[in-house]
Structure 1
């Protein structure tokens, strides 16, 4: 058997590639960053992009069949028929016959087919039929289960889709799924948006795009409506071209789509690296390690069986067939199906709890998670912010501040956050002030996470100046202010006033209010274009303060997560006083506090120590969040990160499991592994428990398979050395293995003890090996007892009576192998303290009944078995009870010594 073939089989099959095909964009972008992948744009596409970059806007739109106000619905439909959907189809669903072939062509089925062919040519027709039936059943089971899993996963993923804002003729702006976009569509972009196709910028305001995945540049790149250097030939260096898969960091723009789907630069790269999968997760590595543990064991034991039987019996062909049967019996051939079906069942269960699983492996990561990093707003709090105060610098109620804040929120075109929504929804403004009709917008300076502020410039009718209104974090606004509004007068900003300002804002923070400062300045009326440089010499007008009350479910959810061994850490860009107040209200005991400035000053080594003892981090930038998550992972934690903003995307990518919500910005949803339809920590607890339940059921199968297979082989070695005939025919081993495997199909639906859900669970291959060595020989003790029983009591001690001997061991072997399911599925006493789920009880009961029926019924001669004497069934219960008693005793010792995962 080819070791490389086996390795490729396990590496490929144990990944659920077929289930994740629509959500590999980020993995693909990561692979694009690999230096082994050329970043050269295909010549035809390069020519198209360069030509579009240098084209006049009107001519470009004409060439694309578009217009300055976008396409009509009819034109878009026609183009969609011509170009197809805007999807990078780097991994097409397999036709059913190809899928069926893939389900068959693994080393284990090939080995069984070889056995069937050899049996056929040696005129053992019955054995050939049984073995071939095993192959067909195994293949069809896997085919059916994977097809069902695919359908379930696709149905779930269809519930989550990214959209783009598209301009349609008639001055309409509509939200369309990204896959519906066509060349010629005009799209509106703002901070947080994914670029849905290769586009040419038509108009832009402070547009910064992150295209690190394409170019390797860590800093965002500013894009403009016009190409500065007409000699530029590399599309990646063009000033006005946007690429699919990148994202808008800040600013706004209108762009026209040039190419879609596979015709984009991203699509061209996708075709080149479509064979490159996402790096194996800790889950995949764990499964692979356990599988290779069993395979290495097979490569040791099968040759031993071959040589012992060959030398002692003299029939090398029969010995070879028997050794091959042992090899098949040792292989965990049902593991891939158990893994896939268990994960798929978990995904369907979570969908009922309003959790959409984009990548099935994430379910197990949920169970392994021991640290959850979360933002404050909308997670600990209600995600419904109320404008509680609008006050001047001295803390007195002020309509001027409200008017300025409203102007800023009303006229900005970037990403409107919850604070803007709260201002715009404020009843007093809409009903009484009606300021929007009195002003006209001139320009804006969009928000970014470095400045933490944004400005709009407006012109009031008949006024000889423009007004720049700036709104943002208090410290960042103060950095651009030189004066303070006091009544109708402006005063210089002195140290005394600065102290007073901080005292007022701190008092609001201690009340749990989030404070946003508002400043303004007059500028010349002839100035038309504004930038960050204009945010200086401003006058502080006052503050708007917002209340974001904690959710009622947060406190019990945090207690539940703590009870399940998960440490919650708050990572927020908000003020430390507001964060501390919210943490107190939800019962999260603060253990240390680190500010963004502290994080900046610390080395990685220092911060790696600090993150272990600190659970509240405030005033963080996106890079700070990512760094904290990365260091927690480096410390050996399985880290989940929950966020919904553009500033959360880097941390979502860095985490073991990224969690977002369906209302999140595109880049956050794209980076996440899990999408919550309800932004609640209680939903997370459900996910964690299901992840642990899923893992526990997979581990049951591995423990059962490892221990029972080891016991069988150990018994075979003993019997082969001392018995003058084969203790069991190859066909008997294969039938026994087939029946046992069928009994395992119900494991994904089994119950899990509550104690098994309390702590995070991970793959520990060394523990599986130790478990196998402890529990495998127990069945061998009773196998050897059965040998003695058949040899001395029933006189099955010559080749003429080997069928009786083999029938006796066949029944005991199958029944003990099936009973181990119930013994090992729980650390408790089975049937009394912990019962299996009804599907598993029924399935194991049926298999045990079939095991007794085969030698006793009319099919016995087909399987080369014979009816057992009545006295045998007097001894059989005693053997089984003794087996269960000894297993339970060893289990108690094992738990006391090593624990029970």
Structure 2
């Protein structure tokens, strides 16, 4: 039985119970360690290889589609065959499955075995009581998790990922003709943003930087398309994909250059693809069954609960065999001794722990949902409270997401309309990552007529290494030009001359220094600067790449204003008051970052640049991340490395970001925070998503996480100390009393009533001082607390034994019912009072009052405890009425117990503090 409890609890902690079905896909976290061909059938591999090697017309015909996409009728037909584009692991469980999982805990299994034993021995009353305990624990958990799941489903629907899909809007036969005139087809098709789950095989989708690949697809076109597919292959570097047919010798589907897979994400570039398979028929879906069968690595939260629970299990492994041996040897009835030992095991088992944890976390999720915060999995709430370092991106997180063009200047700092015109053409024709800067440029609608004079030829998409992007256009006369915009330093690297009023000048060292000084002066004003350059292109050239970004003529700058959020400064101040450091990690330059940080209240600045980080080993970086609070000019790899170093230094790290360059850091952090306007890959990587623009919700979330943790810890401390004290008393009584100090059924009833009262703990108040510092699991503290406060109750239990034996004459087997009734009431009422004593470091009832649900449940338990031996139900539980003088003794014991506990609590706080 104990072996079942020990192994079952560990497995239980590793199960998906704690996740409550709204966490990121574990497949994406585990696939890197899974063989790339694991779990997929030979037929699936052949289908993917055939699709990769098929000629485009034949492939599109086999999928009943065309380059112009599907119409509504075709979509319905495809969905009837393929279903919705979702993986079975993401689907919510049925009510019956959920009920079974709520029941299938080691605690409930232990109680069920005990109920069966009681039924087989003819003890119907014990069977009923134990069955009630199982029903209560299972029912409460089922109800709480059901509410949490329902709330989570509604919230997550608000931030579902979407895909750009080409769909035809007219369904007549003419529209379906592949030889229809291009003008006719373009009038009948439209690019739509649709939820990913609505995709079907045959859909034509557009991919751009920041997109999650929504299904397994074959590329039709690709331009500098790089994908991060480490989840599939374990490769740390992005892989370039092409539209051309792969080498016939290639057989591994993941290595085929023109296939992209669900769950990977686009790092840079753009492409057009046709959907091959969706949902469970995809490569990722095929792996879901194998990967979901694996044990998911426990999170920091789960590991904390696991360690604390092992403390309780170790005590149980010692105490229960002792109870069995002592009672078996002294009483001679080994069957009754076994039942009593099992009852003691139940008494030491925190049956309500799963429900309390779920209820407290769900309450936190509901609180945050009212603040427009989506919690993707419940564990994140406790991590929120444990966070002591918040790393945040700058743009779109500390600043508003309404960037505007403040100035358009030539290289000398004078207003220049041609610079804005070139930037407008660049932003309009690019199909890659549309940043807020592009949105700001395109807001100048008065320049829209420019596009009528030009046609797009090609583009070189943005990436985070070059930090620039280019488009190539041609005018009506056939003259072409490449237009490049990007970070000033990167544009200067590929420029050889500069546009001046008198003509084009060679870009010598003096001019470079002057141009950099102009840009730095704008940065110092808090403006973000982007450089624009151009040059003519040969008439016959139609394909362009990174190598063509050379010999450019620098035309000037765009200066963008990106004001900080009004809530940023007070939010960071509030976090600092609650023990959370803020560190800014950005790809922007140091001058702009320093200005924005000063505006949000970060006045003491230690700045480190990405180039400096490149030169540091891990040992040096581990020291630097503690000293610096601003990191600028960072690549995505830099951000991830900084977060990893902070975690290695023992911090619980949160990361807030909204861009594709933040995804790696979001996944690495203990808690990833993003916003609903973030790119798909950032939202997928995040644990928490903010729907509100205000950052004050961060501090509120931290406090709610700490409140949640404090209430969970209350239950564990209360239960551990109280139950340990009771079992310690049982050991003493069993050694000296010729009968059982309490019958197994009575012990179970007492445990049932006490556990019922604990259902109110998630709604209790938390003292303000417990919210000022990060809270973490400390198993050693729980064990010390149990050993320190448990024996206090044993002092009064032993006093009760003596009084019942000497004063009330309950000293023979014939009068054992009176002895058992007396201890039953004392034990239940002291357990109820310990709730109020241990829930706060202050003086209970005077300096700190429990929430009304906790107070009400205490009164209910007291009433039940007194009624059971005195009322009509007493014979059913083998209890007897207690004499009037007993209640004088009871009041004295309770007051003395509270007074001694308060005195010892003050001594404990002085020596060990109070978590």
TM-score (norm 1): 0.97
Please say if residues 24 and 684 of structure 2, whose CA atoms lie closer than 8 Å, have aligned partners that are also in contact. no
1:450-599 map, 5 Å: 450-462=465-477, 465-599=479-613
Please say if residues 52 and 246 of structure 2, whose CA atoms lie closer than 8 Å, have aligned partners that are also in contact. no
Partner SS for 1:441? strand
Larger deviation: 613-622 or 46-55?
A: 46-55
Partner SS for 1:389? strand
| d(CA) in 2 for partners of 1:452, 1:340 | 45
Partner SS for 1:568? strand
Larger deviation: 363-372 or 41-50?
A: 41-50
Alpha-carbon displacement from aligned partner over 1:198-244 (angstroms, at most 9, x marks no partner): 10111121111111211222222221221142332221221211111
| d(CA) in 2 for partners of 1:290, 1:231 | 55
Match of 1:672 among 672, 686, 691: 686
Larger deviation: 50-59 or 5-14?
A: 5-14
Please say if residues 732 and 863 of structure 1, whose CA atoms lie closer than 8 Å, have aligned partners that are also in contact. yes
Partner SS for 1:871? helix
Please say if residues 2 and 317 of structure 2, whose CA atoms lie closer than 8 Å, have aligned partners that are also in contact. no
Please say if residues 19 and 153 of structure 1, whose CA atoms lie closer than 8 Å, have aligned partners that are also in contact. no
Which residue in 2 is equivalent to 1:186? 204
Partner SS for 2:505? strand
Do the aligned partners of residues 139 and 380 (structure 1) sit closer, same or farther apart at CA in structure 2, a change above 3 Å counting? Answer: closer
Which residue in 1 is equivalent to 2:11? 11
Which residue in 2 is equivalent to 1:264? 282
Do the aligned partners of residues 271 and 109 (structure 1) sit closer, same or farther apart at CA in structure 2, a change above 3 Å counting? Answer: closer
Please say if residues 325 and 733 of structure 1, whose CA atoms lie closer than 8 Å, have aligned partners that are also in contact. yes
Partner SS for 2:510? helix
Partner SS for 2:462? coil
For residue 40 of structure 1, report the CA deviation from its aligned partner: 7.3
Gaps of 5+ in 1: none
Please say if residues 384 and 548 of structure 1, whose CA atoms lie closer than 8 Å, have aligned partners that are also in contact. yes
Alpha-carbon displacement from aligned partner over 1:183-202 (angstroms, at most 9, x marks no partner): 00000111011111110111
Match of 1:330 among 335, 340, 348: 348
Which residue in 1 is equivalent to 2:183? none
Please say if residues 594 and 605 of structure 2, whose CA atoms lie closer than 8 Å, have aligned partners that are also in contact. no
Larger deviation: 100-109 or 658-667?
A: 100-109
1:220-619 map, 5 Å: 220-426=238-444, 429-430=447-448, 434-462=449-477, 465-619=479-633
RMSD of aligned Cα (Å): 1.7
Please say if residues 5 and 110 of structure 2, whose CA atoms lie closer than 8 Å, have aligned partners that are also in contact. no
Match of 2:814 among 796, 800, 803: 800
Which residue in 2 is equivalent to 1:754? 768
Partner SS for 1:516? strand
| d(CA) in 2 for partners of 1:470, 1:396 | 20
Partner SS for 2:250? coil
Please say if residues 211 and 265 of structure 2, whose CA atoms lie closer than 8 Å, have aligned partners that are also in contact. yes
For residue 383 of structure 1, report the CA deviation from its aligned partner: 1.9
Do the aligned partners of residues 117 and 495 (structure 1) sit closer, same or farther apart at CA in structure 2, a change above 3 Å counting? Answer: closer
Please say if residues 211 and 220 of structure 1, whose CA atoms lie closer than 8 Å, have aligned partners that are also in contact. yes
Which residue in 2 is equivalent to 1:149? 148
For residue 660 of structure 1, report the CA deviation from its aligned partner: 1.0
| d(CA) in 1 for partners of 2:385, 2:430 | 42
Please say if residues 379 and 680 of structure 1, whose CA atoms lie closer than 8 Å, have aligned partners that are also in contact. no
Which residue in 1 is equivalent to 2:790? 776
For residue 119 of structure 1, report the CA deviation from its aligned partner: 3.3
Do the aligned partners of residues 64 and 17 (structure 1) sit closer, same or farther apart at CA in structure 2, a change above 3 Å counting? Answer: farther
| d(CA) in 2 for partners of 1:18, 1:72 | 43
Partner SS for 2:88? coil
Asked if 1:863 is matched to 2:862, the reply is no
Larger deviation: 318-327 or 562-571?
A: 318-327
For residue 671 of structure 1, report the CA deviation from its aligned partner: 0.8
| d(CA) in 2 for partners of 1:533, 1:4 | 66
Gaps of 5+ in 2: 169-187
Larger deviation: 790-799 or 667-676?
A: 790-799
Q: Aligned residue pairs: how many?
A: 896
For residue 22 of structure 1, report the CA deviation from its aligned partner: 5.8
For residue 30 of structure 1, report the CA deviation from its aligned partner: 2.4
Please say if residues 15 and 284 of structure 1, whose CA atoms lie closer than 8 Å, have aligned partners that are also in contact. no
| d(CA) in 1 for partners of 2:284, 2:113 | 44
| d(CA) in 2 for partners of 1:692, 1:331 | 25
Alpha-carbon displacement from aligned partner over 1:661-705 (angstroms, at most 9, x marks no partner): 111111111111111112432111111111111111100000001
| d(CA) in 2 for partners of 1:141, 1:689 | 26
